[in-house]
């Protein structure tokens, strides 16, 4: 009854999000999965429960924003990166500590992952490096919150020019593949990579095989629904 209506609401919100450009959060994601999203390949239905979990994470972020403002340390929240062709994104905050500017990226994770966390997750490092690059700020803070126990861990990150350059090359190459309808290779450790375990495009990826292939030919062969 009411549960069905709430689930439907979350799913409709999610389905409205057609991808037209890269997001900072695509850094570290499987290129093939990002390609599928751009091509509007119908994905396995997202569990509305997961969407509610993401939303709860956003509420935790807002609590931290509130505290930062009350600390009066000089903070701007939800700051969009300067407009350019390739990527868009919004950093959680830029703040000033001891006369130095930092980009802040907040991540909420479950207790088990939090306990194991001894260093920033790779994909989170990629994302904050892109923020540092576009804001021209040399230092960032990755703040992890245990959403079950409310513990906090922080990691200070220094700008890494070489890493950012590799990330931007990766995005540029993927953009070209999207424009030329070339389906990228699967992850080198597909199907055991953790991303494959959660991938909404697993079925179509299995059908395509591991290698790079022409997308339109494949699509016709397997008779996928036309792109929206």
Measured over the CA atoms of residue 104, residue 108, residue 187 and residue 180, the dihedral's sign is negative
Instruction: Return the ∠ at Cα 29 (arms to 26 and 33), rounded to 5°.
Output: 100
Q: How far is the CB of 45 from ligand SF4 (least distance, A)?
A: 16
Stretch that binds ligand SF4, among 58-66, 94-102, 124-132, 190-198 (CB under 6 A): 190-198
Which residues from 16-75 bind ligand SF4, rule CB under 6 A? 30, 32-33
187 binds ligand SF4 (CB under 6 A): yes
Q: How far is the CB of 18 from ligand SF4 (least distance, A)?
A: 18
* Residue of the chain from 157, 201, 215, 219 that contacts ligand SF4 (CB under 6 A): 201
Residue 144 near residue 61, CB atoms below 8 Å: no
95 binds ligand SF4 (CB under 6 A): no
Name the packing angle between helices 31-38 and 161-179 (round to 10°): 40
Q: How far is the CB of 179 from ligand SF4 (least distance, A)?
A: 19
DSSP string, 38-57: HTTPPPPPPPHHHHHHHHHH
Residue (174 or 186) nearer to ligand SF4, CB: 186
Phi, psi (5° rounding) for residue 77?
Answer: -110, 160
CA–CA gap between residue 218 and residue 191 (Å, rounded)? 20
Residue (46 or 195) nearer to ligand SF4, CB: 195
196 binds ligand SF4 (CB under 6 A): yes
CA–CA gap between residue 18 and residue 14 (Å, rounded)? 9
Neighbours of 7 (CB within 10 A): 15
* Residue of the chain from 134, 155, 171, 190 that contacts ligand SF4 (CB under 6 A): 190
Q: Which residues bind ligand SF4 (CB under 6 A)?
A: 30, 32-33, 186-187, 190, 193, 195-196, 199, 201-202, 205
């Amino acid at each position: 009854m009411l549960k069905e209506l709430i689930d439907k609401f979350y799913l409709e919100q999610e389905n409205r999000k057609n991808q037209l450009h890269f997001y900072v959060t695509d850094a570290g994601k499987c290129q093939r999965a990002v390609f599928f999203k751009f091509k509007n390949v119908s994905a396995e239905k997202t569990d509305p429960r997961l969407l509610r979990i993401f939303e709860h994470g956003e509420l935790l972020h807002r609590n931290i924003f509130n505290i930062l403002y009350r600390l009066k340390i000089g903070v701007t929240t939800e700051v969009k990166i300067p407009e350019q062709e390739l990527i868009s994104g919004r950093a959680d905050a830029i703040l000033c500590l001891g006369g130095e500017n930092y980009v802040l990226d907040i991540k909420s994770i479950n207790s088990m992952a939090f306990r194991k966390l001894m260093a920033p997750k790779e994909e989170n490092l990629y994302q904050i490096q892109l923020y540092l690059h576009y804001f021209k700020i040399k230092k960032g803070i990755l703040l992890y919150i245990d959403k079950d126990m409310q513990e906090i861990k922080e990691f200070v990150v220094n700008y890494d020019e070489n890493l950012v350059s590799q990330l931007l090359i990766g995005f540029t190459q993927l953009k070209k593949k999207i424009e030329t309808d070339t389906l990228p290779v699967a992850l080198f450790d597909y199907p055991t990579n953790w991303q494959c375990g959660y991938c909404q495009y697993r079925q179509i990826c299995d059908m395509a095989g591991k290698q790079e292939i022409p997308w339109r030919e494949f699509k016709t062969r397997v008779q996928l629904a036309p792109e929206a």
